[in-house]
Amino acid sequence: MKFREHIISLMFLLFFVFMLSYPMSSIDAAMRGIRLFADIIFPSLFPFFVLTALLPSIPWVNVFATFISPVTRKLFNVSGYGAIVFFSGSVSGFPTGAKMTADLLEKNKISIPDANRLICFTNGASPMFLIGAVAGGLMSQPTLGSTLFLCHLTGNIIIGIAAGKYIKGPSFHADLTEREPVDYLTLFREAISSSVRQLLTVGGLIVFFSVLIESCNQLLEEIYTGAHHAKINLVISGILELSNGAESAASASSTYIAAILILSMTSFSGLCIHMQILSFISHLPISYQSYFYSRLLHAVISPLIFVIYTYLFPLKTDSPAVKEVIAPVEYGITSAQVITLSLIILGILTFLMTYRIEKSRF
């Protein structure tokens, strides 16, 4: 047995011991996960899941894919279906982009290289989550939401452009000559059943990670107290599950720091979202590595875009009681530091691109 397998086995054993040691905490955490899934996740994602299952069989979608193909090929090096996936993933949020990419690949509408490129930039947070839940709900700064979403979306577009240039392979052209008869009643029934099965998997992961986070919180309370507990809990929550991480980050003393932390967590997505993505692509020849590295890069790029944007266009909080200016200069960050951060990111991108080119030569 490999060392990694020993570590994973030990983690599951400790998780099992926790559930036996704190049964009521485990049940409460599971109930919170079930309520989150039943009240928010299922109602918001189910219509999108059904729609994305139907879209590849609708003739008008083929027409639109052909029409928009020159733009998507130039920008992201993907077929016209990429525009539909990107739009759907950006509007409805995780994990719609991965589901739609998998559906299109299974129906031979896109190529494997197309799928590997799409998986990098079509899975992001929805505007409803960033503008409504995060900025309006957790941070009480609704006007900040649109800035957070635009920085998050711009980061994904940058990654999409990079993926289009450095993930090699052909794309498929939408073929309008194919006119197979479609039984829409059967197709709709299959879309309903497949969407329910997939969402149950998503719900199971949400419940599991809710209990896992609670176990980590209980363990931290036994070891750390005060500020140390809050900081470590912030890191662990952000890595494991997005909504818990965002809630912890929103309690930061500074709106500016909270926005940066939330953007970074949202861009990485959390391991719960990663497991959801894997549930859609694990049976297909789609590279999870491409997705993972793109999320790490996005976790750096989108906060950097926010820093640069607020340096150029300082924002103000909505609270009449606390007049805080949301800009890096208010926190001792100078223009030289902003430029340095930008150069570091450009250097990382250049290295990755060069490495990819050199690797493709051998």
Regions of the chain where pLDDT drops below 70: 1-8, 172-182, 224-230, 252-253, 316-362
pLDDT tens figures, 166-219: 888 777 655 544 556 667 788 888 889 988 988 898 888 888 888 888 877 777
pLDDT of residue 328: 53
pLDDT of residue 256: 82
pLDDT of residue 226: 59
pLDDT of residue 323: 45
3-state secondary structure the chain: CCHHHHHHHHHHHHHHHHHHHCHHHHHHHHHHHHHHHHHHHHHHHHHHHHHHHHHHHCHHHHHHHHHHHHHHHHHCCCCCHHHHHHHHHHHHCCCHHHHHHHHHHHCCCCCHHHHHHHHHHCCCCCHHHHHHHHHHHHCCCCCHHHHHHHHHHHHHHHHHHHHHHHCCCCCCCCCCCCCCCCCHHHHHHHHHHHHHHHHHHHHHHHHHHHHHHHHHHHHHHHHCCHHHHHHHHHHHHHHHCHHHHHHHHHCCCCHHHHHHHHHHHHHHCCHHHHHHHHHHHCCCCCCHHHHHHHHHHHHHHHHHHHHHHHHHCCEECCCCCCCCEECHHHHCCCHHHHHHHHHHHHHHHHHHHHHHHHHHHC
pLDDT of residue 361: 40
pLDDT of residue 232: 75
pLDDT of residue 324: 53
pLDDT of residue 357: 42
Domain boundaries, the chain: 20-170+185-211+251-361
Task: Provide the whole-model pTM.
Answer: 0.80
d(CA 137, CA 129): 10
pLDDT of residue 322: 42
pLDDT of residue 181: 65
